[in-house]
């Protein structure tokens, strides 16, 4: 334990903070022997305590002490502050309006998926959906009980040719579509990176001649919980009967792209559907959607008539 305390003290000393080894040992001893915390977890807890006490960012502490980061399966990423290399496929990119963030999305391997945040200061290359990459020296961050990867100036990203089959469990939900969020309907995407445009501009490539697409960001309620779901073009066309071409024509006739979203809301909100797909972070990425008929109107009339007779 003394050696571990010395290592922690030495690292803080490199950052210009002198912490008595005895103080570190005392906290390690309490965590390991009194509370029976595993050694690595105790080390992390003690380090985090002194980081907060001296107002030092966690990344600053770990950047200096790490060596070559190990390869990690996404399912095994369960330790805050750990530096890892991850080989995976970018399965989704999300809209982002924060100027200090370059990209936000999900990367997956054979064991699962995890959110990543690429900071603008990292200077890393832009990634694309459905392409495979090696994320090197990325740091694990825990937020509200969920883990994500942060790509910063110490990280690098390499494009790879590997064909990666992303492992995700299929989830089925049945419930009412209670809302369709903004950013749905007829949208435009950047032809370079596939991001949804905001006011005709891409966060990365600026003003571009966007490519039309259909998307629904639905809110589903199964009576127990609420689930955000994303329906891509194929699912939108299936459930609305509206093609991309007809949506473009509708918007052109009205001189208003918003009419497509309003039409979708009037068709879908308040009705019941069964969705199948994969749950990725807070979203269910739908692979299929079908209406659920809660009753047959003719059947209801018969039941009412029978009740009146009784």
Which residues neighbour 11 within 8 Å (Cβ) at sequence distance 6 or greater? 61, 64, 65
The secondary structure of 5-17 as a DSSP string is: HHHHHHHHHHTT-
Residues 114 and 85: their CA atoms lie apart, in Å, by 13
Are the folds of 74-159 and 170-291 the same?
yes
Residue 244, pLDDT score: 96
Residue 199 φ/ψ region, left for φ over 0, alpha for ψ in the -120 to 50 degree band, beta for the rest: left
200-238: per-residue pLDDT in tens?
888 777 888 999 999 999 999 999 899 999 999 999 999
The pLDDT of residue 168: 67
Domain boundaries, the chain: 2-65, 74-159, 170-291
pLDDT value at position 297? 61
Q: Which CATH number fits domain 74-159: 3.20.20.140, 3.30.450.20, 3.30.470.10, 2.40.50.140?
A: 2.40.50.140
CB 71, CB 84: distance < 8 Å: yes
Strand partners, 228: 219, 283
- Residue ranges of the chain with pLDDT lower than 50? none
Tell me the CATH class for 170-291: mainly beta
Radius of gyration of the chain from Cα atoms?
Answer: 25
Interacting residues of 299 by C-beta distance below 8 A, sequence separation 6+: none
Give the integer Cα–Cα distance in Å for 58 and 174.
42
CA-CA-CA-CA torsion for 295, 297, 303, 307, nearest 10 degrees?
Answer: 120
The pLDDT value given to residue 228? 94
Pairing of strands 112-119, 146-151: parallel
Q: Give the pLDDT of residue 300.
A: 60
Give me the pLDDT at residue 61, please: 80
Q: Coil, strand or helix: which one is 238?
A: helix
């Amino acid at each position: 334990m003394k050696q571990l305390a010395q290592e922690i003290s030495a690292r803080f000393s490199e950052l210009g903070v002198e912490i008595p080894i005895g103080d570190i040992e005392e906290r390690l001893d309490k965590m390991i022997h009194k509370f029976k915390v595993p050694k690595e977890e105790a080390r992390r807890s003690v380090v985090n305590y002194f980081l907060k006490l001296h107002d030092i960012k966690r990344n600053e502490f770990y950047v200096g002490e790490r060596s070559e980061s190990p390869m990690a399966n996404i399912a095994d990423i369960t330790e805050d502050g750990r530096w890892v290399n991850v080989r995976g496929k970018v399965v989704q990119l999300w809209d982002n309006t924060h100027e200090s963030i370059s990209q936000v999305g999900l990367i997956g391997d054979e064991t699962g998926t995890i959110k990543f945040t690429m900071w603008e200061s990292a200077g890393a290359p832009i990634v694309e959906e459905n392409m495979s990459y090696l994320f090197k020296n990325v740091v694990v961050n825990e937020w509200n009980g969920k883990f994500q990867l942060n790509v910063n100036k110490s990280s690098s990203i390499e494009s790879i040719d590997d064909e990666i089959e992303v492992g995700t469990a299929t989830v089925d939900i049945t419930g009412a579509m209670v809302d369709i969020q903004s950013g749905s309907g007829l949208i435009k995407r950047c032809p370079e990176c596939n991001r949804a445009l905001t006011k005709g501009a891409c966060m990365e490539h600026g003003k571009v001649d966007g490519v039309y697409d259909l998307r629904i960001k639905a809110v589903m309620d199964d009576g127990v919980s609420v689930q955000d779901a994303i329906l891509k073009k194929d699912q939108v066309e299936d459930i609305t009967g509206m093609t991309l071409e007809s949506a473009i024509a509708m918007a052109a006739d009205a001189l208003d792209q918003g009419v497509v979203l309003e039409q979708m809301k009037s068709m879908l909100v308040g009705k019941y559907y069964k969705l199948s797909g994969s749950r990725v972070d807070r979203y269910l990425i739908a692979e299929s959607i079908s209406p659920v008929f809660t009753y047959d109107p003719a059947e209801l009339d018969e039941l009412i008539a029978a009740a009146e007779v009784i």
